[in-house]
Amino acid sequence: MGIQALLSADPAASHVGAHWATGLDLGVLAEVFDEAITIAIMQRELAPQLLASIAAQCAAQPWELAWRGVPDSALEQALTRSMPAPQHAGELIADVRLLAEAVACLFDVDAVGIRMRLLAGAMCPRFHCDNLPVRLVTTYSGPGSEWLPEQALERAGLGNPEPGKPEVVRDAGAIRRLTEGDVCLLKGSGWVGNEERGIVHRSPAVAAGQQRLLLTIDPEF
């Protein structure tokens, strides 16, 4: 089945909350076009072959890939050059290309911007909102990104700390975390009509000795 068919299919076992949507296949990502939705999450369990490919790339020092272009064989070649264990990277490279093609198809763009990083610490540990239209995020290994339902946050607290500024988190018990392998689209404040409602999220804490393999994909509008 082609990317277009996967994205246009009705999402299996989908659920729509106040401003989020979850499902078990790529079709749920299209829910991000709903005006009310600020985060769309595809929940998935990674296959054993993909897990093995991921583990091989995590048995190394922190590394990073930054790439922009059409998600075709050129992307696969760039990933192969960047990964520390390219001989075991086939399954992971195929998955990255699939997600990059999905972003390009969903937002009708030719090119995407990709960053893939093996991290040893939290990259953005404070809750924040991205000033961009939309971003795909998935954590292949390690703890997933955390996000706040609208009712659990105080937007006046966002930004740099200042005397008298309220706390961003109203209810710490309401913090949601993506699981390893989940794929989400985060709608930012740069999305027209969503300027005051960008999803608020942060990088999770990473324990000593733990690593996190993170992929982000931005459509190049």
Task: Give the chain's domains with CATH numbers.
Answer: 3-219 (2.60.120.10)
**Model pLDDT for residues 139-188, shown as the tens digit of each residue:** 999 999 999 999 999 999 999 888 889 999 999 999 999 999 999 999 99
Helix/strand/coil percent split, the chain, to 5: 30, 25, 45
19-39 residue pLDDT tens: 999 999 999 999 999 999 999
Q: What is the pLDDT of residue 53?
A: 98
- Find the length of the chain: 221
Q: How many angstroms separate the CA atoms of 137 and 144, rounded?
A: 9
How far, CA to CA in Å, does 89 sit from each of 79, 127, 179?
A: 9, 32, 22
Indicate whether 1 pLDDT > 80.
Answer: no
When pLDDT is cut at 50, 70 and 90, the band that residue 18 belongs to is confident
pLDDT of residue 11: 60
Q: Cα separation of 16 and 139, whole Å?
A: 22
The alpha-carbon radius of gyration of the chain (Å, integer) is: 17
Name the more confident of 104 and 17: 104
pLDDT in tens, 112-138: 999 999 998 666 789 999 999 999 999
What's residue 201's pLDDT? Answer: 97
At residue 122's C-alpha, the angle toward residues 120 and 123, to 5°, is 105
Distance, CA of 141 to chain centre: 13
**Collapsed DSSP state (helix, strand, coil) of residue 6:** helix
**Cβ–Cβ under 8 Å, residues 78 and 180:** no
Rounded average pLDDT over 3-12: 70
Give the per-residue pLDDT at 14: 64
How much is the pLDDT for 34?
Answer: 95
Q: Do the strands 112-119 and 64-69 form a parallel or antiparallel pair, or are they unpaired? A: antiparallel
Q: Residues of the chain with pLDDT > 70: what percent?
A: 94
Predicted pLDDT at 16: 67
- How much is the average pLDDT of 42-53? 97
Q: How confident is the model at residue 208 (pLDDT cuts 50, 70, 90)?
A: confident
